[in-house]
Homo-oligomer: A and B are copies of this chain.
């Protein structure tokens, strides 16, 4: 079985593992106050051109999303988010558990637009009964989205402008950002300039675990470590995060992994298109969503693991193939050959 069902099936990239093994004997202060964390944070501030941003390393995405949302919103505020967004669907209500409503906006490709946000806020403020409704306080985007799509810089700048106009905080979930950087014109300095908070995910790009939360907005960063602790995100042996991110950032390893994930995915995309299969959504990143005839699903399922995404019509199913840091050329070539042979 060659595995394409997600991007976290294997352990750490060899360089990450090596760094962990090499640092294992060191004695360090706990809770992220060690030198590895400090160095990794400094590297990330440099990369984002945000010399004063807070940088915090958390273990996972749900933690990051819940902690940021709790820090960002007053009790009566909610987070605007695509209907398909992770915090709306796949966090078992972690956002609501912090007391906040997710305000879902329609989205077919995982993305929302500045115009949608504007319209929502206009309608809210025009409503005489608005005090009886949750007030939008933050915009939550994923880049790439749950469906692998990415925002262009122009789209992100438009959203930034709307957020400024309506005094909304802008939060970008970058669980797959390494791949997003490879597949869009949005850079780390752009995120540093436009976001109040965002994170660079490690878990889905070759780390054992870890998400690096960058907070350019100093008001949001104030006392943020208290909130990390409250939400169970303060790792006792915090240097595990620092060590991994040092290795991840050093020499642009994260970019290399992201590019490689995207490149392998593009090979798959072309193979599906060449075979005449449609795409449920056209993604430039490491998640690919071909629409396959049922017999193809069955045939490929014997040799490859992938995820059933949605029933499209009688006879066709959208599925998801994920590439990861550990996907090899041979894995992809084998799959392409089998696609061609269908």
Contacts and interface: CB of A to CB of B under 8 A. Distances in A.
A154 to B, nearest CB: 31
B62 A92 contact: no
B11 A24 contact: yes
Given A11-B23, A30-B9, A230 B133 contact: no
Interface string A50-61: 000000000111
12 contacts: A10-B28, A11-B23, A60-B234, A71-B74, A89-B132, A89-B133, A90-B129, A91-B229, A92-B227, A97-B230, A135-B226, A209-B235
Interface of A: 3, 6, 8-12, 17, 20-21, 23-31, 59-63, 66, 70-71, 74-76, 78, 89-94, 96-102, 129, 131-135, 203-204, 208-209, 223, 225-227, 229-237, 240, 326
Given A75-B97, A92-B135, A131-B234, 5 more contacts: A63-B232, A74-B223, A90-B133, A91-B230, A209-B236
A328 B70 CA distance: 43
A229 B99 contact: no
B234 A62 contact: yes
Given A11-B26, A30-B8, A225-B131, A237 B74 contact: no
Contacts of A97: 75, 98-99, 230-231
**Shortest beta-carbon contacts, A-B, top 5:** A11-B24, A63-B232, A76-B226, A92-B230, A92-B229
- Copies of this chain, complex-wide, total 4
Nearest to A63: B232
A235 B91 contact: no
Contacts of A209: 235-237, 240
A30 B3 CA distance: 12
B101 A96 contact: yes
B131 A11 contact: no
Contacts of A233: 232
Contacts of A60: 59, 232, 234-236
B203 A237 contact: yes
B235 A131 contact: no
A238 to B, nearest CB: 9
A235 B8 CA distance: 10
Contact of A92 (B11, B226, B326): B226
A316 to B, nearest CB: 19
Contacts of A101: 93, 96, 102
Contacts of A74: 71, 223
Contacts of A99: 93, 96-99
B11 A25 contact: yes
B92 A133 contact: yes
Contacts of A230: 62, 75-76, 91-94, 97
Given A94-B231, A231-B94, A10 B29 contact: no
Given A21-B21, A75-B97, A101-B96, A232 B229 contact: no
B30 A92 contact: no
Nearest to A134: B93
A232 B94 contact: yes
B10 A25 contact: yes
A179 B237 CA distance: 19
